[in-house]
Structure 1
Amino acid sequence: MGSAVKKFCLQFCCCCCCTGDVDDEDEKQPLLPDDPLEYFNREVQKRRDEETNLWSEPGDPSHTERDDDRALHAMLQARNKMRMGSSGYRRLSVDIEAMRDTRREVRDKWKTILENLGFMAEADSLLTVSAGASLDRMRNAPAARALLQSLHSETSVFSSREPPPERYLFILDRLLYLDIAEDFLAKAKRFYPPRDDSDEEIPGLAINLPLLLARVEAINGRGEEVEDESERDD
């Protein structure tokens, strides 16, 4: 099993390095621009952005298909238009980090289970999903989706308030290929049993998404007024 995992991770890493994160706009550009350093810096920034935000829909470069991705993306765009250090900038930073923390907590649960299954060295590689991921390239999409729904309904790995992130479909497809998906599900049920409705949500996971989306839309609608208010607050 160890050699199979190492072989898979090597193939996966090579594939990521070769394909990169490509969107429609990049496809129109030459493979290497006049300044190769600029190209590689852009690729590094894309990967850093992916690892920081852990987009729920990694194959959606617009980050608008899911409500949580749209909210996070909109907050990042709104913050970029504000003066760093202003009260508005700081308020958005708090909301952004809360959403990032939620996603990191889910990823950490997956990593804990994988490491308990003996994949200490391979866990990070197995959990890495680039923006170039495509459902068409999956080996067993139906089985992966069924497992994802089981994890969502039979464990507390994900928040029960929203659908599970699609990014984990690609990870489950890898686990199916390695023949450890059922073992992973069994461990998840043991480590993270479903919570009763009366159970209190784990701190950091209780994101009020409708309220957050409404706040972001208000910020976008008000435009520069937010910055003016932030300066007055300072």
Structure 2
Amino acid sequence: MGSAFWKFCMQCCCCCCATDEEDEDEKQPLVPQDPLEYFNREVQKRRDEETNLWSEPGDPSHSERQDDRVLYTLLQARNKTRMGSSGYRRLSVDIEAMRDTRREVRDKWKTILENLGFMAEADSLLTVSAGASHDRMRNAPAARAMLHTLHSETSVFNSKEPPPERYLFILDRLLYLDIGEDFLAKAKRFYPPKEDSDEEIPGLAINLPLLLARVESMNGRGQKDDSGSEKEDENFD
């Protein structure tokens, strides 16, 4: 198990380096960039990726899936809202609710991996960067079939919507390590399908269309100062 994992890590490392070099060749600046500024920007990008756990990691516009589009719109709206205002606080609550839902799914996957013995490697196996590409997958059809099985025959995901694409890349890694079937068996055991009555607890489900409509309504009216914040709260309640 250990040698296969390190082999996987070395290949990933080489692929990432090659991609970075290709990108640099295509976007070579006329004036050399500040190395520190570039490093800080890359660190921030990776931190944002892990914080938001984008469902479509390879989509830089965050618009291909509705849940990614809603979260991105919320983040952009908060950036334009005065910190400390009621609108800012409400947006923060919605953002954290979406992030918590995504973290809950990731935690389930981590629990299964750790139970399989990947205590130290779980976080690395679950990390998917924006550079993830379907072209580099080793066994995409099998990974896709397994993702469908996990979605339909377990409760590792919190929604009936199509499962996040990021987990397709993770399953491809697990298949390469020859632990895909073991992972699926553990998932069925730890997280069996829920009964219809247990699908979602009222009040905890995230209504994506409603969130998006609220943000668009806020943007349409423009950001208000404190004098209008109370009326804004009443409209959203």
Q: Is the shorter-chain TM-score for this pair beyond 0.5, marking a shared fold?
A: yes
In 2, Cα distance between the equivalents of 1:233 and 1:89?
11
Residue 19 of structure 2 corresponds to residue 7 of structure 1: no
Deviation at 1:208, TM superposition (A): 1.3
Does the C-alpha gap of structure 1 residues 95 and 18 become closer, same or farther in structure 2, counting only changes over 3 Å?
Answer: farther
Does the C-alpha gap of structure 1 residues 11 and 226 become closer, same or farther in structure 2, counting only changes over 3 Å?
Answer: farther
Q: Percent identity?
A: 84
2:103 aligns with: 104
Superposed counterparts of 1:185-196, under 5 Å: 185-196=184-195
Contact 2:58 2:131 in 1 (8 A): yes
Does the C-alpha gap of structure 1 residues 208 and 31 become closer, same or farther in structure 2, counting only changes over 3 Å?
Answer: farther
1:221 aligns with: 220
Contact 2:154 2:193 in 1 (8 A): yes
Contact 2:101 2:158 in 1 (8 A): no
Deviation at 1:6, TM superposition (A): 2.3
2:33 aligns with: 34
Deviation at 1:131, TM superposition (A): 0.1
TM-score, normalised with respect to structure 2: 0.88
Deviations along 1:106-146, one digit per CA (max 9) or x if unpaired, are: 00000000000000011011000000001111111111111
| Runs (5+) with no aligned partner, structure 2 | none
Deviation at 1:199, TM superposition (A): 1.1
The DSSP-based 3-state class of the residue aligned with 2:196 is: coil
Tell me the number of residue pairs that the alignment of Structure 1 and Structure 2 aligns. 232
> Could you tell me which amino acid in structure 1 is paired with residue 6 of structure 2?
K
Contact 1:151 1:185 in 2 (8 A): yes
> Could you tell me which amino acid in structure 2 is paired with residue 4 of structure 1?
A
Does the C-alpha gap of structure 1 residues 5 and 202 become closer, same or farther in structure 2, counting only changes over 3 Å?
Answer: farther
> Could you tell me which amino acid in structure 2 is paired with residue 211 of structure 1?
L
> Could you tell me which amino acid in structure 1 is paired with residue 194 of structure 2?
R
> Could you tell me which amino acid in structure 1 is paired with residue 171 of structure 2?
L
CA RMSD of aligned residues (A): 2.7
The DSSP-based 3-state class of the residue aligned with 1:190 is: helix
> Could you tell me which amino acid in structure 2 is paired with residue 53 of structure 1?
N
Deviation at 1:2, TM superposition (A): 1.7
Deviations along 1:173-209, one digit per CA (max 9) or x if unpaired, are: 0011111101101100000001011115268962111
Deviation at 1:4, TM superposition (A): 0.9
Larger displacement relative to structure 2 (216-225 or 131-140):
216-225
In 2, Cα distance between the equivalents of 1:179 and 1:75?
39
1:169 aligns with: 168
